[in-house]
Amino acid sequence: MKIFRLIPLACALVALPVAAPAQTPPAPTTGAPAPAKKPFSTGDAKVLLAIADSMQFQLKMSELMSGKFRESNPTLAAFAGPIRQETTALWTPTVDMATAGGVEGKKIPLDMSKTDRANLTKLNVIKDEKKWTLAYFEFYAKESKKNARDAEAGVKTLADAGLKEWGAKAEALLKSQAERIEAKYKELKSAKK
């Protein structure tokens, strides 16, 4: 019977007006780029996506190198580690920058281009591991240098200040990696003789 006495009390409590909790603005996140005030221009978005494509090339080539040489040539596997780590560290800000600038997520590359993948597949006909390694590094060095040159040219055309700052970091990274890859290719080529 006690439950029937509590029902009117519960109804009275439900009917009381409740003050809404004070709305506090969300705390700013640290490390994330501020949202763009307006979408990037078509030219700026094109440069960003081209650099992102170059970064994916570096990531996938270094992943392949790590996997292929993990046991057969640990020195080459170790060479790939810093390239992968540096590129990965800049990848998240790249995606954040792209989405904040209005670039559709489906346009952001998640793998190397089909052309690069096809050119890499052509190397699979080489059965000798030393010859394959040399051909791999020749391709890697050539494409890395091209990507660094393209990034340098693209960054010069950027209009958005935040994108220009990011682009300078990406350009420096791609140049540094291209120089190291070229040096490793020359080292392997001279060791072959």
Query: Letter for the amino acid at 165?
Result: E
Across the chain, how many H-helices and E-strands are there?
6, 0
Above 50 in pLDDT, residue 11?
A: no
* Inter-residue long-range contacts of 120-128, CB under 8 Å, 24+ positions, other chains counted: 120/61, 120/64
Mean pLDDT of 64-86: 93
Mean pLDDT of 120-130: 92
pLDDT at res. 23? 46
Q: Who contacts 174 (Cβ-Cβ below 8 Å, separation ≥6)?
A: 51, 54, 55, 58, 144, 147, 148, 151
Sign of CA dihedral 97, 101, 105, 110: negative
Secondary structure of the chain: what % helix, strand, coil (to 5)? 75, 0, 25
Percentage with pLDDT > 90 across the chain: 77
Which domains are assigned to the chain? 38-192 (1.20.1260.10)
pLDDT at res. 38? 84
Kindly report the average pLDDT of the chain as a whole number.
85
pLDDT at res. 32? 52
Higher pLDDT, 48 or 26: 48
Mean pLDDT of 4-31: 46
Higher pLDDT, 192 or 63: 63
pLDDT at res. 192? 67
Are 140 and 63 within 8 A, CB to CB? Answer: no
Higher pLDDT, 10 or 67: 67
